A and B are shown apart, each in its own frame.
Chain A
């Protein structure tokens, strides 16, 4: 703290402007553009990856190799990825049942039949 560098942190300013611009472009892609849904999704996914890159390189310590304090960003990043995997894969695993929006009727229907059979078994006890 004592040796605080009082110069303007250009990295942070550029990163901040870039992330704002990318957010606005993503909003425009959804609200204002004529792209088809598929392309909008692909486009904002790409923007999301770029956004994550900006965060990592401009703000986080990804470019600092092991400094003298032994800072290892990969360690915490691995935990983050593991948690994200549990969240996404876990939600898909538990919540993907009985979906029936008319398009994939077969799969959902089967699920519901199982449900019924289950409940019948319960009631027979």
Chain B
């Protein structure tokens, strides 16, 4: 076999991408070697089981993926605004909207939120790490290697091109030969393992490792949203795993689950996909709700209004999320009765969501709002998300959906909920908890520039798309030189570039703040407005989080602690702390499984077997691993705490 057999050839843009990938890789390798950082990288990051470091790696990867998915989006927008330019070929266009969707949902939104959960949830409940730190590292590496596997598809083998939903029969072996769809299947399968494991891990952590006295209804709202999300993950992801496995067996081994010729049922893929896919959109929106609740309560300087109603509405949303999936394919034609049932269940979701909106407004009511950057993102979320939510109800009416289905109206709707919901929350959460992660805040002035550019760009980009949809422009359309669509498309593209500028300013702010921001001296970074336990830790957070775990028996415990002049630290109570050891096994295990997945993409069965056996050997080694971790001595804790607290 020759190397050109698997490399993608013939596209100037992709040649450019190959060159830049090669240059960046060489530059990274050179810098690591030149500054002798290989040992540091391995000891501090690649082998870490510390939830805070794993969280940072999740967020960094997610930002890189946001860049990749954003570039895809800009290329699509250029093609739509300037159809005469011939910027993309139709095949390339199909590949790009497929990777854009998949990357943004699976490799950007989820890892970003899981990264924030990783860092913040143990701090909010007074835990020292996850329940299963080794498993947490394994989850991260399975996500990371799955994401890399999916991303290399555009230079090696060719990207998948059947949409992020990968509907059969289009994505089956007959109509999509070649490795592209296999990249989709294996990349999602590999990273899905990690997501499922994280779901279990966080669920156990929250249920079993809360500070003494903390009941479930004392937990911070972000932790609650994480717990609810974990339940959705644990119940929904197995469906995706099975569906992906069935389609893989169809494509690689020639079975007939989703083909008409073999008495299979192509629409069964859509059915299974959305049985996972609808809960999935709540997996990425519920943690966002949690982040907004924390930010709004903090900067309104009030306890969150209707805490229990907020929790119960999340639980009801989670339950409803499992019985609405058919609204993604009303036009399949299951009949009026089936569509009516799912139409009603869909509209029901607006009720608990409305409860949440009113609770946020009530929290803000008559409060002294502080307009910090995270608060701006959160305030912008409320009206923007409502626009997305109301159009969602319109789409949920089965009869009307026959008009809206697969049009730009739908595209505008889900970008309004996913960007105004999830992406705004990611930015809000990152800026809000940034001082906890890195010991300094992000610059407020540049942060506001980034916010306003992104916010304006977002509305300019997506609001016209509602009208494009009503004018009949279908989604995933390559040919758009139709005169009446052109002006709105040009406006939309302008907005997309504005969002791009906003993102660049945000990233520049990371660099600027690293250079010039004041270093934090207290743990309570936002002018002493912190309400929950994570603000009670020192900055930087010691690797064991809490030297002594406080007793908590109320919501927002840190408010009372500050009033009474207490801290979580009690030197007389110090005991040796049991911590897990770092290990390189997770990254090695997942590399083997990554190799197996890569081989399966090209259907090289012997290499795949080698990789699977390697993964199995690593699992067996893990079974006989009796490393119980180590104890941090009291003297060392005292030294660290005294230094951090200036005692």
Mark A residues whose CB is within 8 Å of B.
1-2, 4, 6, 79, 83, 86-87, 90-91, 93-95, 97-98, 101, 111, 114-115, 118, 122
Q: Is B246 part of the contact surface with A, judged by Cβ < 8 Å?
A: no
Question: Of the candidates B335, B402, B626, which one forms a contact with A97 in the assembled complex, judged by CB atoms under 8 Å apart?
Answer: B335
- Provide 27 A-B residue pairs closer than 8 Å at the C-beta atoms, listed in order of the A residue: A1-B628, A4-B628, A6-B626, A79-B235, A83-B235, A83-B322, A86-B275, A90-B323, A91-B268, A91-B272, A93-B341, A94-B271, A94-B338, A94-B342, A95-B267, A95-B268, A95-B334, A97-B334, A97-B338, A101-B263, A114-B335, A114-B336, A115-B335, A118-B333, A118-B335, A118-B336, A122-B402
Besides A90-B275, A90-B323, A101-B263, 12 other A-B contacts (C-beta < 8 A): A1-B628, A1-B629, A4-B626, A79-B235, A87-B239, A90-B325, A91-B268, A94-B326, A94-B342, A95-B267, A115-B335, A118-B336
Task: Determine the residue in chain B with the shortest Cβ distance to A79.
Answer: B235
In the bound complex, CA of A83 to CA of B626 (Å): 36
Interface residues of B in 613-630 (CB under 8 A from A): 626, 628-629
A95 contacts across to B, CB distance below 8 A: 265, 267-268, 271, 334
In the bound complex, CA of A79 to CA of B322 (Å): 12
A2 contacts across to B, CB distance below 8 A: 628
Closest 5 interchain pairs by CB?
A1-B628, A83-B235, A94-B326, A97-B334, A94-B334
The 0/1 profile, CB within 8 Å of A marked 1, for residues 328-341 of chain B is: 00000111101001
Mark B residues whose CB is within 8 Å of A.
235, 239, 263, 265, 267-268, 271-272, 275, 322-323, 325-326, 333-336, 338, 341-342, 402, 626, 628-629
In the bound complex, CA of A1 to CA of B342 (Å): 48
In the bound complex, CA of A1 to CA of B335 (Å): 56
B272 contacts across to A, CB distance below 8 A: 91
CB distance from A30 to the nearest CB of B (A): 13
CB distance from B628 to the nearest CB of A (A): 5
In the bound complex, CA of A91 to CA of B322 (Å): 12
Contact: B323 with A111, CB < 8 Å?
Answer: no
Task: Determine the residue in chain B with the shortest Cβ distance to A1.
Answer: B628
Chain A facing B: main interface SS:
helix
B323 contacts across to A, CB distance below 8 A: 86, 90
A111 contacts across to B, CB distance below 8 A: 335
B334 contacts across to A, CB distance below 8 A: 94-95, 97
Also in contact, A91 and B335, with CB within 8 A (given A83-B322, A86-B323):
no
A90 contacts across to B, CB distance below 8 A: 275, 323, 325
Question: Of the candidates A6, A91, A114, A115, which one forms a contact with B271 in the assembled complex, judged by CB atoms under 8 Å apart?
Answer: A91
CB distance from B259 to the nearest CB of A (A): 15
Task: Determine the residue in chain B with the shortest Cβ distance to A69.
Answer: B208
Task: Determine the residue in chain A with the shortest Cβ distance to B263.
Answer: A101
A98 contacts across to B, CB distance below 8 A: 333
Contact: A97 with B333, CB < 8 Å?
Answer: yes
Task: Determine the residue in chain B with the shortest Cβ distance to A96.
Answer: B334
B341 contacts across to A, CB distance below 8 A: 93
CB distance from A114 to the nearest CB of B (A): 6
In the bound complex, CA of A118 to CA of B239 (Å): 32
B333 contacts across to A, CB distance below 8 A: 97-98, 115, 118
